[in-house]
Amino acid sequence: MSLYPSHRANPAAARGHLRFHARPVAVSPGVTLGPSPGRRRGGLRVAASAEQGRRQVEVVYDREAKFNKLADQVDQSAGITRLNLFSPCKINVFLRITGKRPDGFHDLASLFHVISLGDTIKFSLSPSKSKDRLSTNVAGVPVDESNLIIKALNLYRKKTGTDNFFWIHLDKKVPTGAGLGGGSSNAATALWAANQFSGCIASEKDLQEWSGEIGSDIPFFFSQGAAYCTGRGEIVEDIRNPLPANLPMVLIKPPEACSTAEVYKVTYFYNMRFEMHCFTNKLVLQRLRLEQTSRNDPLALLKEITENGISQDACVNDLEPPAFDVLPSLKKLKKRIIAANRGDYNAVFMSGSGSTIVGIGAPDPPAFVYDDDDYKDVFVSEACFLTRNENEWYREPISSKATFSKEDLPPEVASVAD
């Protein structure tokens, strides 16, 4: 199929016919010369007929068919020059920390699932053979080589020996410091894009294995979208029964962000700023204590959720206690959502290392999120579970709605909320 839909935008205007009568030829009535009537070969249709003693040959030149054939040949020889891809985030439906590793990381066992909230990334081939150029709509997001998108492109060139460089624009909707894996998804999407531009010389398995070199969560996005992840998160096993796409959820994230490193190991500071702006006033020395984590068998949790659905008891997150120590307001938010729940949510839990609280079962937040000034800057988004087909990247659902904060509401609505 042509990459340029304008080639076929107006078939009627593009179609032209050239007809002429040839000299009569000796044919028996009912005998057809050449291809059968209506068959096209390279835009040329040849038909012959004999009726009532009059012999006629009609040649029809179909300009539209010829033009489309040439366009397809151009597309095939030129390759891809631009690509827009959806870069969805994920939630941890449950997250167990099972041990401390010699390399300083923690072993985990978690049900990761892609959801419909995501960024859009636009890739264009750059005439430069030395540098990528990244831009974004969000201030504060790095656009240099510290960004996982650039790291992913550098990794792909290193592994494959290709020399494609890109202009990239990141249209960001997933908040940072949210425990939603937005940066990891961006990196996976960049690897997928680079492979498409190079004619898919690497397999999905290759991309998944390579991606673990730059981030523990990145390999997950090369699953079908629902996977049981162990190790640092890089050991990915697709699950048989992804969660239903028609099960709604709401994401609620306060403006404060939680650094994953600070949740795993918090150092005491007072009235100091953290590099990852995790908590800026008062912090209590706290470490993730394995002896205080849940004793639930992660495989039993996986079986319960995939066979019986989401429930509060099954949505365990061992990072909640240290995250709530880092950010007490996050603990308060979760408690208020649970207290305000009138049967709308099957479960309320924190995703990843925070600071997003997820309510499964309804697309709307409790009323206090709109009514209370303490939550005027909160990030709110509805979402649903999402998967992908093999050899295709994730697609944003048509019904997906934009995210918003209270400040985004129209004046007449905001006044009611106030």
Which entry of 90, 151, 334, 406 is annotated as an active-site residue? 90
Give me the amino acid identity at 233. G
The three-class DSSP label of residue 87 is strand
Nearest by Cα to 338 from 322, 320, 357, 323:
357
Instruction: Answer yes or no: 90 catalytic.
Output: yes
CA distance 267 to 321: 16
Which entry of 119, 217, 318, 325 is annotated as an active-site residue? 217
**Tokens in use for 274?**
């953290």
Of all helices (H) and strands (E), which one includes residue 54?
A: strand 54-61
Of all helices (H) and strands (E), which one includes residue 3?
A: none
Phi and psi dihedrals of 251, rounded to 5? Answer: -110, 130
Instruction: Answer yes or no: 103 catalytic.
Output: no
Looking only at Cα atoms, what is the longest distance across the chain? 104
pLDDT in tens, the chain (418 residues): 333 343 334 444 444 443 444 444 444 444 444 444 444 444 444 444 445 555 555 555 566 676 566 545 544 545 789 999 999 999 999 999 988 777 767 789 999 999 999 999 999 999 988 999 999 999 889 999 999 999 999 999 999 999 999 999 999 999 988 999 999 999 999 999 999 999 999 999 999 999 999 999 999 999 999 999 999 899 999 999 999 999 999 999 998 766 566 555 543 322 222 233 333 222 322 346 665 677 899 999 999 999 999 999 999 999 998 888 888 999 999 999 999 998 999 999 999 988 999 999 999 999 999 999 989 899 999 999 999 998 999 999 986 544 555 544 444 444 334 3
CA distance 191 to 187: 6
